[in-house]
Amino acid sequence: MSVPALFQWTSASRSDVGLVRERNEDAVLDQPERGLWVVADGMGGHAVGDFASQTVVSALNSLPPPRSLPDYIAGARQQLLEANRLIQAEAVRRRVQRIGSTVVVLLAHDQHCACLWAGDSRIYLYRDGHLHQLTRDHSVAEEMRSRRGAAAGNSTSHVARNAITRAVGAAPSLEIDEELVEVHDGDVFLLCSDGLSNLLSADEIANALAHGNRRDAADALVNLALAHGGRDNVSAVVACAEDLYNSDKTLLNPAL
């Protein structure tokens, strides 16, 4: 009879203003004890971008303890809708048109995880030596690649590549995508803003996640983005799952 996995989560995070921007409009939530991790990348400038990202993170931080993963997902979706409402109201109050925030959320409960997202922040999974992108960007460039193939996507302008098609607070309604993942022992998840993913190759990301612990990995990823120019705010959250019941790691009681 097999023993169900019991996962222990550890994580580390870092958010940096970068080398060009004056204000950090990214926000992160790093709570392994709750199985809750978030990266939000605000947009709008003039102090509204950081308001948007902080509103998203604050809303998700208010999630109650879940009874199940579906319960956790439902709660997160409800909180994101509330954040959407608050950001829309703030845009009206400040008389600004462009305000919103991307979001990626990783929720862990028992042997499964859920990825929720809107915008072009990303979640990656590093498993058994391979890097997998779990989210699909909500961007003009990604939509063009999907419709016409990679060649057309590569020919889009810089402006188009940076244009996102979905964000919390950008419209009265909010659509959130979702992906479920069965957790394996040794899985490493990366949540990041586009200030990291736009500057690092898949190989660079994989190498950082493969070598060193979660703290070293988060620092290495942000430092690499800064070394590549740091044109945007840079945020990374690295979460690692360890199966405490994995027989290969269990030590026999020497008294037996």
What does the pLDDT look like over 217-237, one tens digit per residue? 999 999 999 999 999 999 999
The model scores a pTM over 0.85: yes
What does the pLDDT look like over 51-81, one tens digit per residue? 999 999 999 999 999 999 999 999 999 999 9
Beta strands in 168-245 (DSSP E): 177-182, 188-192, 234-243
Which one-letter DSSP state was computed for residue 91? Answer: H
List, as one string, the DSSP characters of 112-172. EEEEEEESS-EEEEEETTEEEE-S---BHHHHHHHHH-HHHHHTS-HHHHH-BS--BTSSS
pLDDT at residue 10 above 60? yes
Q: What are the chain's domains?
A: 8-243 (3.60.40.10)
Q: Which residues contact 253 (CB under 8 A, 6 or more apart)?
A: none
- Counting residues of the chain whose pLDDT is more than 90, the rounded percentage is 82
